[in-house]
Structures are given as C-alpha cells and as structure tokens.
Amino acid sequence: MVSQNNEVLKDRIWIDGCFDFAHHGHAGAMLQARQLGSSLYVGVHSDEEILENKGPVVMTLPERVLAVEACKWATKAVPGAPYVTDPAVMDHWRCFYVVHGDDITTDANGEDCYRVVKEAGRFLIVKRTPNISTTDLVGRMLLCTKNHHIPTVKGTASDIAAATLRTREISVGKSDESGLITREALEKFAIYATSEDGRGARDGVYIYTASQNIATLVEPSETFMAQQRKMIYVDGGFDLFFAGHIEFLRRVSAHAENLSAKLGEQVGIVVGIHDDATINKFKGLNYPIMNIFERALCVLQCKYVSHIVLQAPYSPTAIFLGSLPWQITSVMHGPTDFTASTADPYAEVKALGLYEEIANHDYSAISTETIVERVTRNRGVYEERQRRKGWKAEIENNLQAAEV
C-alpha cells in the first residue's frame, strides 16, 4: 500500500527490468541505484511483456520477484511493471528518478524503453556490469562450454593473506588464473559485502585453502562481527542462484531469528561455496553454469546471508568448522538422498549432533538441472531469442551512439 502522502521524492529510486536469473549484474545495478537514494523500488516486467519485447523468460514472474525481494539493497519488488518505463507508475511509488545501466534497451519496435523518462529529465545512468547477462548464461547452456570455469586457488592461507594485503592484486603461484585473487575480484567482493544502504562495510569474504586454514579476502565490519559471534553454516554450489536456493536461505534465516530470540543474542548465516572443480566432479558436463566468482557475488548480495567462504569443502568436517572464526551452532541442509555409491558428506556433522534439516518447500523441486532443461527443451525458441538479441544489439548500439 502506498502512503497517503503523494509527494514524489528524489531520494526514492526506481529501477526496472526482467531480472531473469538472479545474476550479479542485476544485483550490481540495484546496488548502484540504492546508493543514489534512501530507498529502492524495483519494477519487474511480466512474462507476457518480456515475451513480446525480448523473448521467452527462463524464470517465471514469482521466481523473479522472489529473487529481487531477496536482494539486500531492494526496498520492494513491484510485479508487472511496464516494459517501457512509465512516469505515472513511478509517481505511484513516489519515485522521481529511474536508474539504468550505461547501455540502451529497446522494446519490440526498436525504440528506447526509457525515452519518455529521459525527455522528462528523470533518468540516471549507472555503470553496467560487463561479461554477465541472461543472454550469456543461456549461451553457456546451449553451447555446453566450460571456458568460464575458474581453477581452484592452491596457495596457503598465509600466502594468500600476504598477497592480498600487499597489493590487492598479486596472486600466489598460479592463483591469478583463478580470478579470485585479483584487484578486480577483491574490489567486487568488497562492494557486494556492503550493508543494506550500499555505503558501509558489513559482511566478510573468506577462502578455505589446501592448508585447511581460512584466509580473509574482505574484512567484515567490527560492529557486525561483534554482533554475530554464533553462526548457522550452510553450503552448496548455488549455481544459477534460483528460487530454491533463495527460499532455502530465507527459511534458514527464519530459523536463525528464532534461535537468536531463544539465546538472547544474534545468530547469523555463513555460506560455504564449493569451487568449480568440485561441482564439475559430481555433476559433470559443463556444470557449474556460473563460475565460483559469479556464484559468490550472487550469494553475497542476498539479504539472508552474513558471510561467505569460498572453496568450502564438499564435506564440512570438524576440522573445517573449527577453522571458522565463529561458533557454529548447526549445519543446515535440505532433504537429500545419498545413494550407496555416494558417501554422505554430512556424516561427520550428523555424528557430532550439529546437523539440522530444512523441510521441503514450494520450490524444492527446482534445481540447476531443471532450469537448464527449461532452456534445452525449448532450444529452438531460445536460439531465436539469442538471434533476436543480436539483431536488437545493432539497433541499441546505433541509438547509443546517436545519444552520445
């Protein structure tokens, strides 16, 4: 419900889009938009309007809204926002400015989707995140490529910590090939680890190494660290970061809130993220579709998460959990059946009495594989979408050149 006060405010920011796949490019746009104001309203286009103007969606509207609502920089998701941005809709939500990346987006007629708000002087530009888009991800699925995978960082914790502190870009041994210990990656992690207003430090980013120690890539704020000394640990691949992952994390967050009330102190959630080699070992083909850097940013932007640990082991052993800088109250996971040929990775924490299971939910049946199947099952349709995107790109580039 909109407030009775109808005043349109310049610090209430509007952003809109398809938000098909919860990738870090979308999160990056929301972060930059949130930094420009005190609140952020996110318009999410309907499946029908996207189909008409761009092509078929992979994620349904409820799935896309769930992803937007989970972004820590979003104030509210607004389903059914028009594909061509309408000032009247922005006025309804009392937002003066709309924010978009530094590229042109066109409708089915090849016209700029933001032409009306641009003419009204209500358009702000932020930097578009390069090298990631829904089109890129669909392409990886259709072509079954693996060149996006990142090798595991092999350096010891002390080596990585020293290199990170020394230059923020020098890597250890061959670890610069990983893309995790570079200036660009470390800066991006720090940006995505910010608080809900997008301005201050909050979350921590860590990496687990072959020496079975933890190295810190991004220091959490001292206040946040002091507030949350106890953590629930969860782990996984979080590939394509879809509704099932988000709903699972939301339920773990609700559990953490109940535990916090019971203990009289805050309990947070630390997420362990497996490296590309581990996921590929168990899933094969070209999985993961998103590499560890991309998956880490997806998890880090989620409002239910306190900290992340990169290259988390497939089996969270007592040694690993003991290396973390918090007291782990429990290890949580969804229902999983392990075959006789697959050892239960949670056997040790179950024996320690630390394991807790989150019940199935409305999105439990969705997996990375089922999302890939949505694309491959309708391969011709999505290939046409890719061709259409190429056709529109030429028009959009010409419009952008003319605007400049």
Q: Which residues, 6 or more positions from 121, have their beta carbon under 8 angstroms from its beta carbon?
A: none
* 3-class state of residue 324 by DSSP: coil
Domains 9-140+382-403 and 157-366 share a fold: yes
Q: Give the integer Cα–Cα distance in Å for 136 and 302.
A: 22
Q: Report pLDDT digits (tens) over 77-91.
A: 999 999 999 999 999
Averaged pLDDT for residues 236-262: 96
Architecture of domain 157-366: 3-Layer(aba) Sandwich (3.40)
For residue 335, what pLDDT band results from cuts at 50, 70 and 90? confident
Q: Give the integer Cα–Cα distance in Å for 172 and 263.
A: 42
Does the pLDDT at position 248 exceed 90? yes
Averaged pLDDT for residues 232-257: 97
Q: Report pLDDT digits (tens) over 55-81.
A: 889 899 999 999 999 999 999 999 999
309 versus 165: the higher-pLDDT residue is 309
Which CATH number applies to 9-140+382-403: 3.40.50.920, 3.40.50.620, 3.40.50.2300, 3.30.200.20? Answer: 3.40.50.620
Looking at residue 339, what is its pLDDT? 57
Does the pLDDT at position 385 exceed 70? no
For residue 293, what pLDDT band results from cuts at 50, 70 and 90? very high
Looking at residue 310, what is its pLDDT? 97
Amino acid at 254: A
E strand or H helix that includes residue 153: none
Amino acid at 248: F
Instruction: Report residue 263 as tokens.
Output: 């203990």
* 3-class state of residue 16 by DSSP: strand
For residue 132, what pLDDT band results from cuts at 50, 70 and 90? low
C-alpha closest to that of 218 among 240, 191, 197? 191
Q: Report pLDDT digits (tens) over 141-159.
A: 888 889 999 999 887 777 7
Mean of per-residue pLDDT scores for the chain: 87
Looking at residue 294, what is its pLDDT? 94
Q: Report pLDDT digits (tens) over 339-379.
A: 555 789 999 999 999 999 999 999 999 999 999 888 888 77
Per-domain boundaries in the chain: 9-140+382-403, 157-366
Q: Give the integer Cα–Cα distance in Å for 106 and 255.
A: 43
Does the pLDDT at position 2 exceed 60? no
Q: Order of strands, edge to edge, in the sheet holding 230-236? A: 214-218, 204-208, 307-310, 267-273, 230-236, 327-333, 355-357
Query: Which has the minimum average pLDDT: 8-22, 138-152, 330-344?
Result: 330-344
Q: Given CA atoms 9, 13, 16, 20 in this order, what sign does their dihedral have?
A: negative
For residue 46, what pLDDT band results from cuts at 50, 70 and 90? very high
310 versus 397: the higher-pLDDT residue is 310
Q: Give the integer Cα–Cα distance in Å for 192 and 26.
A: 12
Averaged pLDDT for residues 106-120: 93
Looking at residue 1, what is its pLDDT? 40
Does the pLDDT at position 399 exceed 50? no
Looking at residue 382, what is its pLDDT? 61
Tell me 220's DSSP state: P
